[in-house]
Amino acid sequence: MNQPLWTSAEIEAATGGRASALFEATGITFDSREVEPGWLFVAMPGTVADGHDFVPGAFAAGASGALVSRPVDGPHVLVDDVPAALTALAVAARARMSGKVLGVTGSVGKTSTKEALAAALERRHRGQVHRSLKSYNNHTGVPLSLARMPRDSVYGVFEMGMNNPGEIRALTALVRPHVVLITAIAPAHIENLGSMEAIADAKAEIAEGLEPGGIAIIPNDTPYRDRLVEAARRRAERVVTFGSGDADVVAIHAVRANGGGSLVTARLTGSDLTYTIAQPGEHWVSNSLAVLAAVEAVGADVAAAGLALGDLGGLKGRGERHRVTVDGGEALLIDESYNANPASMAATLKNLAAEPVDGRRLAVLGTMLELGAHSDAEHAALAPHVLASKVDELILVGEATAPLEQVLTGELPVTRVPDAATATDVLLATLRPGDAVLVKASNGVGLAKLVERMAGAAAGKGFQP
């Protein structure tokens, strides 16, 4: 019989709390909508709502117990501070796990790379690889992801993000990785950090949590490579670079494969490997090199990892592709709605240029958030990438995209709208069979709603009002 994720006695011991009754938990969440029978519900305080208000609903959904700071009806562990108790569970989960732990951060592609890395390791270790779900990469998401890690996991893969200096330092101290991977440095969160150098330094904090003998995987194709390497060497026993040129892990050969991905021959530190990537784009070639470098660093099977990269499907909001029914045929919708910064915008626009189409190329681009004083310049700087992407029509969403509209006026048809709902209406009015549409913006713009409405048609539900 499988061991429970947590027993009430283990939760007591980890948190210093007091259990009202004996119970076992097979899972854990602080979102009452996620509760499954047998799970522990963590009643987190909040600025809008208090998790304690959702405890009855959690028990109704089958929760076996709750972690609370005031007594409730039903089995529970009473603690003084629920967030601190969740962090204590995270520490205990990490302490009891004897496998290898990998940490991932970066300005661009960290969630996609984390998913690809987990899939690569899972290929030879079915059911024994734990990863942080969704983009649970902040001060609450990382402790929850750690607390969810089964005690017999062979590998744990954790994503760490930040908005300010010092945040990754705190997260990596909890994760205590054996291998850390930085995907790329780009002007995401520059509003808070002020400079690209500060962003690089904040990402480099991930190496501070490395276990003795740890390895840091660093991007070679960035002006901040030496800065990252220097920071990593203060803690890492070994630094491995990936990318082009003199990188330790490099693509010797990469060509477009049938189906839109890439066929790559890579030189690793110990061998060469030829493999296929299902995802299109040069940035995915780079991501794959990072994944293989990390797989090799933990001594896992790189050949199996290569097979996994060939099977990896698109992630929701990060490249998932939908065939949308329109009058007379179908159109392709490329969902990149989850996040956006200047580097990821440029990469996905380049992919759109390479997309084989029977009709037109369209793009729905929304505001890139958290750029602060750099916002106007960074939005305007997308213009060459839009023109190079061979876009036939462009829909811009949000006031912050006005500088881009101004640069492109007269170059191609541009429509700027205030919100996702209006953008959907405009897109529906112009979409034709054979068209390919790229949808990309920062998550706060809400273009996921456009994708949901359009994808509803692909699922046979008709367009949703």
List binding-site positions for ATP.
106-112
Amino acid code (one letter) for 356: P
Pair 260, 247: CB distance under 8 Å: no
Pair 83, 140: CB distance under 8 Å: yes
SS3 of residue 198 by DSSP: helix
Query: With 0-12 CB in 10 A as exposed, 13-18 as middle and 19+ as buried, what is 195?
Result: exposed
Q: How far is CA 29 from the centre of its chain?
A: 19
Q: Which residues contact 384 (CB under 8 A, 6 or more apart)?
A: none
User: Using alpha carbons only, what angle is made at residue 108 by residues 174 and 373, rounded to the nearest 5 degrees?
Assistant: 100
d(CA 62, CA 41): 10
Length reported for the chain: 465
Of the candidates 220, 216, 221, the one whose C-alpha atom is nearest the C-alpha of residue 232 is 216
d(CA 139, CA 3): 28
Per-residue CA distances from 390 to 340, 353, 363, 411 (Å)? 20, 6, 10, 11
Q: Which residues contact 268 (CB under 8 A, 6 or more apart)?
A: 249, 292, 293, 296, 302
For helices 8-15 and 82-96, give the axis angle rounded to 10 degrees. 110
Which residue intervals of 6-150 are DSSP H helices? 8-15, 55-60, 82-96, 110-122, 141-147
Residues making up the annotated binding site are 106-112
Q: In what order do the strands lie in the sheet with 27-29?
A: 18-19, 76-78, 65-68, 39-42, 27-29
d(CA 346, CA 355): 15
SS3 of residue 394 by DSSP: strand
